[in-house]
Structure 1
Amino acid sequence: MEETSMEEHEQTLETEVAPALIAVHPTQQSVAAAVGSDLRVFILEEGCSVALVDDSAGPLHKDSIRAIRYGAKGRLFVSAGDDKLVKIWSTNSWRCICTVSSEKRVSALAISNDGLFVCFADKFGVVWVVDLDGSHENQPLVNKKAVPLLAHYCSIITSLEFSAEGRFIISADRDSKIRVTVFPKKPLDGAHEIQSFCLGHTEFVSCLAFVYSSDCPEGFLVSGSGDSTVRLWDLTSGSLLDIFEVGAEAGLVQSNGTEQEGYPAVTDLCATPDGSLISVAIQSLPGVMILSCDLSAKTLSIVKVVSITGEAFIPTSLGAASSAELLWMVMGVSNLHGSVSGSLARVRVISGFNKKKGNLLGTSLFCWKIMTFLVDSNFCRSYREICLSREKVFSAAAEAVKTALRNLLIQKTILC
């Protein structure tokens, strides 16, 4: 009874508005975008969209999608959300090879680096694991069920990641905790060994990312939060290495430390493959902030704020390939009131998202060329084509994005 009341309250609070998501194939063969229950996949080399094949009757997803993810090798793609369905896709055929039912609405996803396990978290703090048996590329997987892996005890899990070498699974929640758990050799028996807790955020943790290099293969953990900070952690010990106040640096917090709507939350993080740069999406920032991560000194510093002028564009999700220099970002909402489209999203691409030799502050090192396309009837156009903007619609969308994100923040303070 109590669980039902909480879910009904969340549905009313979100007013059916879900921020758009984006995911990029590791080698940038394709890009996936989700807004509301609509899922689109675009093949970049061929310049066309994919016809997703799902043998189950009805739509691909019946409610808002809350998480999408490619596997580390790019052979798997997973989508899940408010309809309590976790769909596992083969990227060779773009056929749904398995649908797993969740007991609660799904809030986060992760795929093991070897592609053998899919983990997902629900809104009551439980992380579940599905064993794929290693034979999943082109044939359906039947009768797959999820088993509990670990739990945060009634705290909404907001982000879920595997460490670079696959040794740990890291989970973050609305109560400002980050838990580093040893991923067991037999995940179906549960994960019982906690490596560390990364404690220090004063608000919910919204996103996680890893930074690592050849000199530091295990890497470090980076987290973003509703307290408007990005923090660098040693995940094996849980030690806090550095804090960067992104809200104040972006000019979104006044000098006296106040803002009408409070500190702007960090909504997403995306790091370059060498861990040298971190892109940060912030709740009220029309653009992204680029941070430099010095792994030897274990410090974070600002490179620049990339503002997108001429339109209201507030990214809700970021993505990048492991072998390219493009940063992908999406802004959008589902079921926007007064919109002619049920779901509306815009994707932009920034080139030069890497670290080159020389002074990082030199603007010549960063070719911030912006391209765009619309995730609607124009989605099948080339991703290098600049579409005509509909400023009034996207201005309304920007405001709806702010409202949706703010409502999600309110949810994270509700006690179960």
Structure 2
Amino acid sequence: MEEESHIEDGEKQTKLEVAPALISVHPFQKSVAVTVGSDLRVFDLIENRPVSLVDESEGPSHKDSIRCIRYGANGKLFASAGDDKLVKIWSADSWHCLTTISSEKRVTAVAICSDDSYVCYADKFGVVWVVQLDGINEGQILPSKKGVPLFGHYCSIITSLEFSTDGRYILSADRDFKIRVTVFPKKPLQGAHEIQSFCLGHTEFVTCIAFVQNLELTQGYLMSGSGDSSVRLWDITSGSLLDTCNISPMVKYLESNESEPTQVTVTDICALPNSSLAAVAIQSFQGIVLLNCDLSVHTLSITKVIKIPGESFIPTSISFSTSTRSLWIVSGASNGSNHPGYTRVRLISCIETELSSILEDEQIPGGTKLLEHLQGKFSIEESVMSAAAEAARAAMSSLLMKKQYSEENREFRKNNRNDKKTTQ
């Protein structure tokens, strides 16, 4: 009976595990991708039509919650990965799956190097793996691959992976407050053995990282968001902390809360290329905070807050379009792989100017056709969105906070792991 009780507890945890909706926009706004649960939805903005994904090896898309998606820097490749322990590399033109990479553990982050020659991904045990993508630039479909260990964070879950703008470094952020800057080697399949620096200063888990740069400076600087209510600016070469911007007071002020500011979590950060502007999403906050990063004097400051009124809309993921300078935002979450869930997509145009505005649905590129495909349903009732917003809050809390287990539960989990290697 005691064992059955343990199993029931485990099943309850599984049922409560939710995946936040994600969004990623093609660098030149040729397409936009949204995920919720295991469902990957892509809309072609050039031809104004939903995209049909073609995966000859595994069937369409993923079998479990997708935790990370992104386009390559030049827009030729698209990567998706998550709880089914698969990393899929897609052609962003034909939307054929070019290769499937099998991971030993669930995948938490993915990054594609600037020339599309390598993809790196991180798993739940804090190991970063690398796979060479020979011939993939020509649209060649590659056989299924397995990663080679690149480096590790010693059992700390990695929350974000990024290549530096010049391709010299790969950066990894984790739940244990640190950001590691690793020299990306000339022969990655032999491992990465040189650490350039550590960016240390956050007092809670690091949730997201992004590079900010402008045309006047050759060196890019790193921005990071955390559960300690701050966004920080770093010089990655030395690991020096250049400035800290505390988000909490502004959010609490806008929510008309007279109590002392409490800690809030920065859930996503996105820098507009060749600009000093970055957008920040915050757990449970119905809007976006815009930051100005003055790279000449290395300072961060809040320049504007855009609230999204009239509906239960808590951003779970944000993505800039390089060409149109617009910010795409998604809200939503899914309970497990068998419940696709609803999402809500919004777009803020002219983000760098005083004329910036939240577009009405019919003004969004692709209009109702895009929204019907990406949201799963064009017209969503307020009660449904309220439930989705509550699920999104639960998703972010579950994703970012470390789970605590009793000694008895830890032993039970060890003995009943489903990812053990079988001996031949």
Confirm or deny a common fold (TM above 0.5).
yes
How many residue pairs match? The answer is 393
> Residues 230 and 380 from structure 1, CA distance in 2 versus in 1: closer, same or farther, beyond 3 angstroms?
closer
Q: Residue in 1 aligned with 2:285?
A: 285
Q: Distance in 1 between matches of 2:265 and 2:309?
A: 21
- Deviation (angstroms), 1:141: 0.6
133-142 vs 69-78, which moves further: 133-142
Q: Residue in 1 aligned with 2:421?
A: none
Q: Within 5 A, what are the aligned runs for 1:322-401?
A: 322-335=322-335, 342-354=340-352, 365-372=354-361, 379=370, 388-401=379-392
> Residues 180 and 154 from structure 1, CA distance in 2 versus in 1: closer, same or farther, beyond 3 angstroms?
same
32-41 vs 406-415, which moves further: 406-415
- Deviation (angstroms), 1:152: 0.3
Deviations 1:335-378 (A, max 9, x none): 389x9x73211110000122x5xxxxxxxx23213244899x96
- Deviation (angstroms), 1:410: 2.2
Q: Contact conserved, 1:90 with 1:137, CA < 8 A, in 2?
A: no
Q: Residue in 2 aligned with 1:295?
A: 295
Q: Within 5 A, what are the aligned runs for 1:109-128?
A: 109-128=110-129
Q: Residue in 1 aligned with 2:273?
A: 273
- Deviation (angstroms), 1:99: 0.4
Q: Contact conserved, 2:36 with 2:340, CA < 8 A, in 1?
A: no
Q: Distance in 1 between matches of 2:350 and 2:160?
A: 27
Q: Residue in 1 aligned with 2:201?
A: 200
- Structure 2: which 5+ runs fail to align? 1-5, 415-424
Q: Distance in 2 between matches of 1:317 and 1:134?
A: 31
Q: Residue in 2 aligned with 1:150?
A: 151
- Deviation (angstroms), 1:412: 6.7
- Deviation (angstroms), 1:409: 2.4
- Percent of aligned positions that are identical: 57
- Deviation (angstroms), 1:13: 6.1
Q: Distance in 1 between matches of 2:307 and 2:274?
A: 24
Q: Contact conserved, 1:128 with 1:149, CA < 8 A, in 2?
A: yes
For 1:188, what is the secondary structure of its paired residue? Answer: helix
What's the C-alpha RMSD, in Å, of the aligned pairs? Answer: 2.8
Deviations 1:41-94 (A, max 9, x none): 111122211000000244421100000010001110010000001111111211
Q: Greater helix share, 1 or 2?
A: 2
Deviations 1:358-403 (A, max 9, x none): xxxxxxx23213244899x9646599xx954411100111111111
Q: Distance in 2 between matches of 1:113 and 1:310?
A: 40
Q: Within 5 A, what are the aligned runs for 1:132-147?
A: 132-147=133-148
Q: Contact conserved, 1:335 with 1:342, CA < 8 A, in 2?
A: yes
Q: Distance in 1 between matches of 2:386 and 2:203?
A: 31
For 1:213, what is the secondary structure of its paired residue? Answer: coil
Deviations 1:12-32 (A, max 9, x none): 267131100011101010000
> Residues 220 and 50 from structure 1, CA distance in 2 versus in 1: closer, same or farther, beyond 3 angstroms?
same
- AA aligned to 2:358 is K
- AA aligned to 2:381 is R
- AA aligned to 1:95 is H
For 2:228, what is the secondary structure of its paired residue? Answer: coil
Q: Contact conserved, 2:372 with 2:378, CA < 8 A, in 1?
A: no
Q: Within 5 A, what are the aligned runs for 1:253-268?
A: 257=260, 259=262, 263-268=263-268
> Residues 14 and 163 from structure 1, CA distance in 2 versus in 1: closer, same or farther, beyond 3 angstroms?
farther
Deviations 1:268-326 (A, max 9, x none): 00111123111000001101001111111110111111000001101000101222211
Q: Contact conserved, 1:325 with 1:352, CA < 8 A, in 2?
A: yes
The one of 398, 408, 411 aligned to 1:407: 398
Q: Residue in 1 aligned with 2:309?
A: 309
> Residues 412 and 249 from structure 1, CA distance in 2 versus in 1: closer, same or farther, beyond 3 angstroms?
farther
